[in-house]
Structure 1
Amino acid sequence: MNDSPPGCPLIDVVATYLPRLAESASEPGLAAAVDQHAAAVREALIPAQRGGARRTLRREELADYVLGFTDWLSRVEWTEPVGHDFATLRLTAVCRLVREHDLLDG
């Protein structure tokens, strides 16, 4: 059951970029790049606390991040390339975080 609110930007990102996440599984360099992007997004949203404790990534925070990022992509008139650039790696990393934290299913 999908408990994401209607219009949640994570749904569209996952629908579009999840296949790229699957591609990264067979390419170690690509997998490492996606891992680095996922870590950067996680750190931006939930900085490390003293003592190393981290709170859970929340769907609303990641959705807000995606809205801001895709808005910026729209303003710079970005188009998705055949290969992998910064934006596709970042959006693929968002898919990884959605899957890792089970953010689309309640």
Structure 2
Amino acid sequence: MNALGDAQLARMHADPGMVAAVDQHAAVLRDAIPLDRETLGDYLLGFLDELRHRGWIFSGDETGAPALRLTAVCWLARELDLLEDGHPA
């Protein structure tokens, strides 16, 4: 999360289109799973496992669906104060 989250969250401040896209991914997550620390963490691990299985590597394309979904997880974790010791996403 650190490698992708910090940079992606910073980009959101300057890109309203990215904010909208991340919000859409966050809405899907809100509808699909309970947004508590354990469940969101389990979702993240499963999502990353699937990305690895498919051979996905973050190439710097912050607009791709996997990067936007990961950004949504980071954003939700930060907004819901689910991060340990206040560490950044």
**TM superposition score category, shorter chain reference:** 0.7 to 0.9
2:23 to 32, 35, 54: 35
Where does the alignment leave 5 or more consecutive residues of structure 2 unmatched? none
Q: How many matched pairs? A: 83
Q: Which is greater in Rg?
A: 1
By percentage of residues, which structure has more helix? 2
**2:75 matches 1:96:** yes
Moved runs in structure 1, 4+ residues, more than 6 A? none
Matched residues in 2 for 1:19 and 1:82: separation? 10
Q: Per-residue deviation at 1:69?
A: 0.2
The two structures have a TM-score, normalised by structure 2, of: 0.86
| Greater RCO, CA 8 A, separation 6+ | 1
% of aligned pairs identical? Answer: 47
TM-score by length of 1: 0.73
Q: Give the CA RMSD over aligned residues.
A: 1.2
